Amino acid sequence: MRITFHGAAGEVTGSQHLVENQQHKILLDCGLFQGRREEAYRKNRHPTYDAAELEAVVLSHAHVDHSGKLPRLARLGFQGPVFATPITSDLCGPMLRDSAHVQQKDVEFANKIRGRKRQPLFNVLYGFEETEEILRRFESRDLHAPFDVAPGIRATFIEAGHVLGSAQVVLDLMERGRRFRLGFSGDLGRMHLPILKDPESLTDLDALIIESTYGNREHDPISESGPELCEVIRSTYAKGGKLIIPAFALERTQELLFMLARLKLSGDLPADMPVYVDSPLAIRCTEVFVQHPEAYDEETRALIEKGVNPFDFPGLHMVHSVEESMALNTAGRPMIIIAASGMMEAGRVLHHLHNSIEDPRTTILIVSYQAEHTLGRRIAERAPEVNIFGEPHKLRARVKILNTFSGHAGRSDLIAYARTVWKNSPRLKKVFVVHGEESQARPFMESLISWHGFECIYPRLGQTVEL
């Protein structure tokens, strides 16, 4: 039995972990690497494993850095099932179709520039045909219900609390009469996040793969999110400007709508300041949220019982067409625009930034993690000038960062989670720390190592470890 780390090892995105048992191979997650265009193109196009040899994929959740390379597998000969929770299966339809669209548009844009420079052109990573093929391979499994993945490999989904439908994975592996239990945290959520149930703890493990996105950073308390958001809204409104919120279409957009609905209920949202969700993908994901109230936490249920629908309140507008989106750029009144993508690398948010980033009345509110080498990271670091659509723009807008909204567990939550797993897993011998930059992962590992009792590993990309 062994595991090879093909993504999110020594880096944050591109989650892919190959688990082998005798002659059987399965993949935990199959995500896109996100970063510099040429590096992303190379890593996403050429996986370092044979897709045709995989018997199945077990998917933790629908974010594209965990699911977005699945259609590429179909193009490369993968024939097996993709196991996911029912909500993740529902969300992956719009998420992967949108990803195929983004792949196409991104390659078209890059090739115009590369063609002028007489550089080799990119080929699309995958198209709609492969996307539909992989979506037909999805098989839904409920939380806490064990299921067979391959001979000698059984999986169980456990609540992760990161996005709606997200799950941790427990793998029970058998080989030559030996039983081994491997836990995979996927992305762990924070305690008491809006809408979501809290993450559960894994037990009785021999080894654990744990994320470390914020392994050395604490988030501001969630209780501060309302007052901070209120201040940003009111100050932008007073200047007559636009509040542009780059947000991931899945979960962050819905959390923002939850907060705005509460501000509307309390009278803290200016009555004449409309809210626009300008992302077709976010709209489709929100529709999935509406269809699954059984997955909401008690706080969200209580809000709905008060007669406030966090996904449909006065002043909320869903922007579907390109024409509607373009009209927002010429509107001269204060407004809130929530648009994808969260790292500002693609999507309609780029057009709003292109139009408004040099206007000092504008506020850019960052509520999501910004990976290295992305436009979002450069704006978060307040670079005096950034490129949008290949053209330089002065950053004159106010940039405000709210750390209260992160859907990832912060350092304290990660340590508390890991300690609980350790206490409830007397056989735990190995902990693999993934999905984190080294500056986040190493200090987190130091805390784990101080407990003793197990080996703590920060795997390199492509590293294989015997279990």
How do residues 17-70 score in pLDDT, each as one tens digit? 999 998 899 999 999 998 776 788 788 888 899 999 999 999 999 999 999 999
- Bridge pairing between strands 207-211 and 178-184: parallel
State the pairing for strand pair 82-84/138-140: parallel
CA 416, 6, 26, 455 dihedral sign is negative
What is the average pLDDT across 270-274? 92
The residue-averaged pLDDT of 150-155 equals 96
Provide mean pLDDT across the span 382-411: 92
Going by pLDDT thresholds of 50, 70 and 90, the confidence category of residue 118 is: confident
CATH class of 223-405: alpha beta
Mean pLDDT, residues 10-17 taken together: 94
pTM summary value: 0.90
Measured at the CA of 107, the angle between CA 104 and CA 113, to 5 degrees, comes to 145
CA 90, CA 281: separation in Å to the nearest integer?
13
What architecture is domain 2-217+407-466?
A: 4-Layer Sandwich (3.60)
pLDDT at 347 over 90: no
| Block residue for tokens 């007559």 | 240
Q: Please report the pLDDT score of residue 438 as a whole number.
A: 94
Contacts of 444 (CB under 8 A, 6+ apart): 212, 215, 216, 411, 414, 415, 433, 436
pLDDT band per the 50, 70, 90 thresholds, residue 121: confident
Predicted local confidence at residue 223, as pLDDT = 77
Per domain, the residue ranges of the chain are 2-217+407-466, 223-405
| Tens digits of residue pLDDT in 167-214 | 999 999 998 889 999 999 999 999 888 899 999 999 999 999 999 999
For residues 39 and 380, which has the higher predicted lDDT (pLDDT)?
380
pLDDT at 5: 98
Q: What's the average model confidence in pLDDT over 363-391?
A: 91
Average pLDDT of span 148-170:
97
pLDDT interval class at 231 (50, 70, 90): very high
Q: Tens of pLDDT along 402-456? A: 988 888 999 999 999 999 999 999 999 999 999 999 999 999 999 998 887 789 9
Give the C-alpha separation, 244 to 365, whole Å.
Answer: 6
Whether the ω angle into residue 89 lies within 30 degrees of 0, i.e. cis, is: no
To the nearest 10°, report the CA torsion of 302, 306, 311, 312: 170
Core vs surface per residue 229-253: b (16+ CB within 10 A) or e:
beebbeebbeeebbbbbbbbbbbbb
Q: Whole-angstrom Cα distance, residue 154 to residue 404?
A: 37
So what's the pLDDT on residue 199?
Answer: 96
pLDDT at 324 over 80: yes
